[in-house]
Structure 1
């Protein structure tokens, strides 16, 4: 498991979800969170950004064979799967979040105990904004998979490749840094 992107909160940490009045009411009434398809959200360009980073590694850090294996897997996986996500922030009062997700400050910011949310069947990631760190993370993860290829059974290999694909959702362009988001 790639621990560089996993979000591991401290025991008392609160994370925040900025939302509309209707979403706040639904969360409180149903005592549940809704996860949405990343490809139809306003942040769908972020997954495309990650794919562009991956493409840049074609001749820079990945073997040609591993690049091909990953590219084919991602192509098939993203067409056959949903990337469900819900965003949280570590900041309880962040102007960029109010503007983007809470109707320009006219809505709600709900705090959740981060450790409680980790009891859900989720893969919590930290957002990585630094382009060099993103590339290094991808290269290291891919090289780790390649190095251990002979040790994987089919199920373990699939699990590792799915995790690598999920990690793509945590790479965001530097200009999003002000959002301080968690997936």
Structure 2
């Protein structure tokens, strides 16, 4: 039997709310090294066979980078949307760019960048394709001024050398 438009009826296998929506739970956020940023993985990779990944990023207290921060790049394309607050990212060859609430951004695969600042209450959602975000951190050897790349796949911990160069400090203006 079909509806008045000629569509066949949906089967129980095609209507599963848990396959369509992922509700935010208080324990959904995790804090990577640095302590001023939290990330949430929305669970879309298994639902899309790895074609897409959706991440939430937020900073309740805000942060500013304190000293040198290592450049990094991701091995996937990303589209982001700023829900609240603002974020400042620095892009290799472009300089610093400020993104505010309501702004969308696009980062192509391997676009080298680094965070500079996030306002208190900044929150964004980032869509990645394909899913499985991998990151290459470019760690500087301060004695020689040379860079060494360190690649980590999705779910892996940031290498200690890179974590040591992600010097986030709490905002002093809040």
Q: TM-score, normalised by structure 1?
A: 0.25
Instruction: Specify which structure has the higher proportion of helix.
Output: 1
Give the number of the structure with larger relative contact order, counting CA–CA contacts within 8 Å between residues 6 or more apart: 1
The structure with more radius of gyration: 2
